[in-house]
Structure 1
Amino acid sequence: MRWTVLRLLTAAVQLLALSIVIFSVLYLTPGKPEQILLGTQAGTSPAALAAIREKYHLNEPLVNQYGLWLRDAAHFDFGRSIQTGQTVTSAISERLPVTIFLTAFALALVVLIAVPLGLIAGTRVGTFTDRLITLVITVGFSAPAFAVGIGALYVFGVILRWFPMYGAGDGFVDRLWHLSLPAATLALTVIAVIARQTRATALKTNDQDFMMFARVRGLSWHQVVGRYLLRNSSLPVVTSLGLVLAYFLTGTVIVEQTFALQGIASLLVSAIGTKDVPMVQCLALLAALFVLLSNLLTDMVCVILDPRLRRKAFA
């Protein structure tokens, strides 16, 4: 309990520091904030500029501006989008479910495919199976996401008509069907990375004395892999999966653009293109929160899996 509270407090401090950095960077970017807030269609009279400065406290020092923003952010008020006039929180809440579903789907594919492939290759080094898996991993690692996405759309969407060409679908089953190609595209390169990491870890663990003792006892291959190899190889893999989770939540830009998905990444690209400062600021902070939470989740899983870490954490 004490370890968990300490990690949460550390994450909160890190998020606060990141919010200061994000606010300062946006404040120092070229261009006047009042002109950006007025937009291209609004007038630029001195009265209009003075009104917008007063409304958004632009005449005050940077520290005061950040304090006022932090006060509103604590109440989940991040302002309104310059582009649409919609509140930032409502715009993000409409897009967030698609990104979360896509991320969870892609992560499930990575775990279900990459980990078994890595374990099989790590226990059968030098065999035809190992060489075949290594070849597949190399090809998957070198395949660009945009090329894989376009190819998958053409083959499975246009020619075979197995999957929809665009959209996220409605309901769990329909969304699962619509996001199958995007999730596979997003997961392909990461599957290669995690499979390679799992193979290297399994190869090292497989040479340990306790693995030889387990085989001498007459345990089956599935028992040896499930009870000993997988558990003792899990920490590096879990750490890598934590990084993958953070990447999926914040790095789905190419996939969302390729498959015309209305997610967080495409919203961020649009906000940057239109200099939508309130939207960019909130999305950047949300991305930082995702990274911190994924790191915290990874540490908690590692503590659960490793008794040595558990004793240190709860000592």
Structure 2
Amino acid sequence: MAATLLVASFVVFGALYLAPGNPASFLLAGRSASPEALAAINAQYHLDDPFLVRYLRWLGDVLHGDFGRSITYRTDVSRLLADRLPTTLVLIAMSLVVVVAVGLLLGRIAAVRGGATDSAILVTTTFAVGTPSFVAAVLLQGVFAVDLGWFPSSGTGEGGFGDLVRHLVLPSVALALYLIGMLARVTRSAMLEALDSEHVTVARSRGVPERQVVRRHVFRNSLGTVLTTGGLIVSTLLVCTILVETAFSVGGIGQLLELSTTTKDFPTVQAISLIIVALFMTVNLLVDLALPLVDPRVTLGSRRAAA
């Protein structure tokens, strides 16, 4: 992880410098400036230093928790992140709960019941998978916010945590819709494969109740595949939150990243991008560590391969 984060930090820092424009032009807001004023701006933000020198200085500051100063907001990036990151984490947590609860339920029902129920769920999940997050956001806003007036159409509210959750209901559903369809399909496929396995046939022949067969022998043996998909789901949530937060005007790091990219706010974009990469890697590490606990065959297979 340390080596990967180091490479990622270099890519994150260097990628923005490949784009046209520079922070100085934004700071000047189209006004002409004397060479002395331009030199002062470049000196303040170290824009004239060699690329490798800027990168090493930035990396050293990041290791000490200093992400620099925002060019757009004229404040420390760490303060911006502290104000906005909790909102994004709440949004992702709500979306994850919806994805896991609905996706697992639909996948399990489709695999166990089959027939018309399975076909209906497949059609529904196909629609969900084919609906991008920003399209879902527009539809949900139009129906549940504008027409029915059940939920707010934008913002995060000012009435505490309960009001924040109410404002994030529609964004969380828009963020979760695509992933519900994906998880339901993965769960269905994994359970259908487990239903055809030998040990399930033996359990049924011994007279074990079907409910217990599904719970102990089918669903449990499918959790390894589902957990692996869970890492991809969380990673997708981290990325798609940018579109959803922008559509619903949610003041999280996703919207901040979009605004900072538009204004060439290098320090803010670099900090958020690095945080997303770190969260992505952390989630995948946790999935790798949890997988042997869910499916002991992973550990046994590794030992046999080593032997």
Shared fold, TM over 0.5: yes
The whole-number CA distance in structure 1 between the counterparts of 2:291 and 2:38 is 53
Q: Does 1:147 align with 2:106?
A: no
Question: Which residue of structure 2 lines up, in the alignment, with residue 85 of structure 1?
Answer: 74
Q: Does 1:22 align with 2:12?
A: yes
The whole-number CA distance in structure 2 between the counterparts of 1:271 and 1:168 is 20
The whole-number CA distance in structure 2 between the counterparts of 1:252 and 1:187 is 10
The C-alpha deviation readout for 1:41-60, integer Å capped at 9, x for no partner, is 67632222322333333443
Give unpaired runs (5+ residues) of structure 1: 1-10
Q: Does 1:186 align with 2:175?
A: yes
Question: Which residue of structure 1 lines up, in the alignment, with residue 208 of structure 2?
Answer: 219
Instruction: Verify the 8 A CA contact 1:115 1:194 in the aligned structure 2.
Output: yes
Give unpaired runs (5+ residues) of structure 2: none
Deviation at 1:87, TM superposition (A): 1.0
Instruction: Verify the 8 A CA contact 1:80 1:86 in the aligned structure 2.
Output: yes
Q: Secondary structure at the match of 2:153?
A: coil
Question: Which residue of structure 2 lines up, in the alignment, with residue 243 of structure 1?
Answer: 232
Instruction: Verify the 8 A CA contact 2:246 2:258 in the aligned structure 1.
Output: no
The C-alpha deviation readout for 1:74-126, integer Å capped at 9, x for no partner, is 1111111111102111111111111111111111111111112112212333x
Q: Secondary structure at the match of 2:149?
A: coil
Q: Percent of counterpart pairs with the same letter?
A: 40
2:93 to 80, 100, 104: 104
Instruction: Verify the 8 A CA contact 2:22 2:264 in the aligned structure 1.
Output: no
Q: Secondary structure at the match of 1:251?
A: helix
Matches within 5 A, 1:149-164: 149-164=137-152
The whole-number CA distance in structure 2 between the counterparts of 1:185 and 1:14 is 31
- More deviation, 179-188/53-62: 53-62
Matches within 5 A, 1:266-305: 266-305=255-294
Tell me the TM-score normalised to structure 2 length.
Answer: 0.91
- More deviation, 224-233/39-48: 39-48
Instruction: Verify the 8 A CA contact 1:36 1:275 in the aligned structure 2.
Output: no
Question: Which residue of structure 1 lines up, in the alignment, with residue 123 of structure 2?
Answer: 135
The whole-number CA distance in structure 2 between the counterparts of 1:299 and 1:36 is 45
Matches within 5 A, 1:49-128: 49-125=38-114, 127-128=115-116
The whole-number CA distance in structure 2 between the counterparts of 1:141 and 1:308 is 31
Q: Secondary structure at the match of 1:86?
A: coil
The whole-number CA distance in structure 1 between the counterparts of 2:203 and 2:160 is 46
RMSD (Å), alpha carbons: 2.2
Deviation at 1:187, TM superposition (A): 0.7
Tell me the TM-score normalised to structure 1 length.
Answer: 0.88
- More deviation, 18-27/195-204: 18-27
